[in-house]
């Protein structure tokens, strides 16, 4: 049986060099190792620490329908510093809390952000916390502590809360107990 590898082709042999067969084997092995590594990384990225697939985050307007509505004048936060944290065109007023007015916004990195405005002397300063979008309506997005330990909770549409929390808005709860 004739050898049909590139190394035995009489027309190509002068161009491939004497070690071409070993070179071909190395290339095949390297490509195989690269494919196995890529598959391993992809599998690892798709699985959570417990070996289960990671839940995909909800789309912003699925988690918070208020983001689908056009921004109103009451939704706009007048702060030159905020634009470095939150996209100004995404803020939505959620309500007044003991901390101050609270807003939902989309961070410049695409995360969900809770923005509260606090008075510091004569200046109003935004206090912002951002976190990845929730994967379902049973997951609270984030909480914040006020200056007097008032807890606020940013939650997606459909979140079910217990009696320890009072709704200011369907996406904003304050702790009452």
Q: Which pLDDT does position 126 carry in this prediction?
A: 84
**Residue ranges covered by each domain of the chain:** 6-46, 60-175
> pLDDT tens digit string along 55-69?
676 778 888 899 999
Q: Which pLDDT does position 50 carry in this prediction?
A: 59
Q: Is the pLDDT of residue 47 over 50?
A: no
Helix (H) or strand (E) holding 174: strand 172-175
Residue in the block written with tokens 């003991």: 98
Q: Is the pLDDT of residue 129 over 60?
A: yes
Instruction: Return the closest-CA partner of residue 157 out of 146, 143, 145, 173.
Output: 173
By the 10 Å C-beta count (0-12 exposed, 13-18 middle, 19+ buried), 157 is classed as: middle
With cut-offs at 50, 70 and 90, classify the pLDDT of residue 148: very low
Q: Which pLDDT does position 149 carry in this prediction?
A: 46
Q: Is the pLDDT of residue 147 over 50?
A: no
Q: Are strands 123-131 and 112-120 parallel, antiparallel or unpaired?
A: antiparallel
* Best-predicted range by mean pLDDT (13-17, 35-39, 120-124, 172-176): 172-176
């Amino acid at each position: 049986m004739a050898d049909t590898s590139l190394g035995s082709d009489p027309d190509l042999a002068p161009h491939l060099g004497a070690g071409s067969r070993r070179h071909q084997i190395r290339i095949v092995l390297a490509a195989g190792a690269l494919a196995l590594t890529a598959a391993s990384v992809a599998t690892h990225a798709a699985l959570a620490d417990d070996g289960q697939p990671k839940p995909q985050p909800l789309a912003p307007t699925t988690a918070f329908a208020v983001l689908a509505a056009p921004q109103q004048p009451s939704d706009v936060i007048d702060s030159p510093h905020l634009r470095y944290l939150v996209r100004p065109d995404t803020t939505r007023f959620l309500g007044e809390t003991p901390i101050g007015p609270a807003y939902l916004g989309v961070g410049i990195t695409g995360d969900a952000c809770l923005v509260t405005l606090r008075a510091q002397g004569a200046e109003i300063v935004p206090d912002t916390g951002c976190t990845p979008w929730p994967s379902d309506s049973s997951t609270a997005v984030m909480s914040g502590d006020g200056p007097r330990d008032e807890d606020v909770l940013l939650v997606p549409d459909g979140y079910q809360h217990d009696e320890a929390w009072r709704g200011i808005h369907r996406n904003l709860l304050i702790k009452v107990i």
